Chains A and B, each alone.
Chain A
Amino acid sequence: MTLTKLPIPASYIADAPNHRFTRLASDKEVAAAALALTGRGMRAIVVTTREAAKEAALKLIPHGSQVFTVSSKTITQLGLAEILNESGQYQSVRKVLNTLDRRTQASEMRKIASIPEIVVGSVQAVTLDGVVLDVSMSGSQLPAYAAGAEKVIWIVGAQKVVKDIDEGLQRVYEYCLPLENQRTMDVYGVPSEVNKILIVNREPKPDRITVILVKQNLGF
């Protein structure tokens, strides 16, 4: 492992997304990543459709659970954000956060988002040997992902399976960042940055992290 892509200035943004990173991993690559995840203490579930991914995720979330849905195109595409936040069947952390004032209650917001019972989101890359990369501009989802949440559910489209950490970082800079930048410009009027990078090498708590690998393009 060389990590040749770092350090790159946080403000670096490629002109256009490199669509090489939309290529779906083969069945063999998906199976390899899934099996490798198990050796790193994470549960892996492989499904073929978005509907199956949604069902698999909901099976892992008992009604009444306190759930934090991270801002994620994947979660939105699956309709999970709507079910988990709006159905009334779960304790939505997102809904609580939306009632708080970012200017005066930022500390409380950070605490609430850091220690949910269950966090549901996605990541930018999973390597063939089972390492998970998640990148963030603010880092708001990272406390829950890394240790704060009792359970972590990541739903990952097969286009996010990469060879190794280097290729994962390349995917982040050359594909995810230009798209995320467009999103943050549209929504917040500010450019995005690769500011915080979480690399999950192993999860020591059994069954804490479940990765649902979907054999379809999902999110970015």
Chain B
Amino acid sequence: MTYVTAIIAFLQGVQWIDLILALQWLFLCYFICINTAYLTLNYISVFSIIGYMRDHRADYLPTNLASYQPPVSILVPAYNEEGSIVSSVHSLLGLEYPEFEIVVINDGSTDNTLDEVIAAFGMVEFPEAYRRRIETAAVRKIYASSRYPRVRLIDKDNGGKADTLNAGINCARYPLFCSIDADCILQPDSLGRVVRPFLEDPTMVAVGGVVRVLNGCTVRNGLMEKVGLPQNYLARFQLVEYLRAFLFGRLGWSPLNALLIISGAFGVFKKERVIAIGGYRSETVGEDMDLVVRLHRNLRREKRPYRITFVPDPICWTEVPTDLKSLKTQRMRWQRGLAESLAPNFAALFDRRGGAVSWLALPFMFTFELLGPVIEVIGYAIMIPLWLLGLIPLQSFLVFLFLSLGLGVLLSTNALFLEELSFQMYPRLGQQVKLFGIAILENFGYRQITSVWRFMAIIKWLFSFSKKSHWGEIARDGSWQRHSGSPEADALSRRDLPTVP
């Protein structure tokens, strides 16, 4: 007890009081800045989404789009996806789009991914005059389908996701390419919707789409049949998180032409612009964000007029982790990717010619997305012991906790409001009340634990710089899938099924 008393006496010394006061002000300023920034993004998103819904609510004009829709190469990188790759490709074959090809790239899988694709699509070896426009790990063989002329398969040595996508770009025949994760579900009109901005603006370089949570939904034959809320609480928390991340995290930056992230799960790019910057960078696990940041920098440096935008239509659905281990792996990977994408672009901060990217988006990402978890965890680590030691009055502690949690709930509620303004995927009163409950609950534990994982990811990244892009392995339960027969029959029957509005 004497030691404890001595420590408390020491901590109660004058210098510590000064330091605590200074820290309190630091946390307070940071807290005000981060919430102001998020709320501002939120209100920009409200205007964006109102404008978007106004213009795209109905097809006012017969657009004769088919003659003008550019052909698209869909790149499906696959590593140990034997369970899902065949149904994914079948689902892609059902896309309603005039001209596209599907390039599956097997990144040296150690399971039966290659054999599954070869058997399911009648792939035969093809003497492709392969162009190595971007350096990649060695390509072993290229196959073409003897049944589906749209499908090709590249078998290559393992090199990570970025390397796999680069091999796909080398093989892509069309001017636009769409990168898609092998475990995502698309709507039949997804490609048409995400390519639309390219038709509306000739300076468009890249377009990202919303990724929504698939858990709790019912999918039949690769097509969304019924949208629902997940049963699992972790998945529910992530649902609200995804709404926040996509509906205001992305939509807020889009009107400023400062969108820095296009999810690797679903995005369309102009191929030549991507090749011009050397394709995806293999030295990062956040290859998707890194690519977009480099596109911005390069295009601004070249003073080319360009747009990188985002479509909020719910068109891509993905299964989120339902166990803590997988969630931890995913979040640490994302945070590491963020750090790896931002670090090489440090020089772009406050670049005179960098526009909103250099003056707003990058500083935001550095200060709030990268350092946010660090500040948050240090905040918990300092404030809670200080309160326990009686160095911070209980009253102050509780009041700031109340304000902090209140703002967290407000931000999530704003995301629900954006959802209500736009697509109303969860229309029942019960669903809305449940989502609001989740928006409150996620602030008690979930938010803190993800911050701790993100903090750990930064620490790990600081001590191991040169890790190559690799594949994140996440346990999936796949309970949303319903099959009615053979994959071929499923693919053919898809068009008769109802679609999500």
- Decide whether A and B assemble into one complex: no
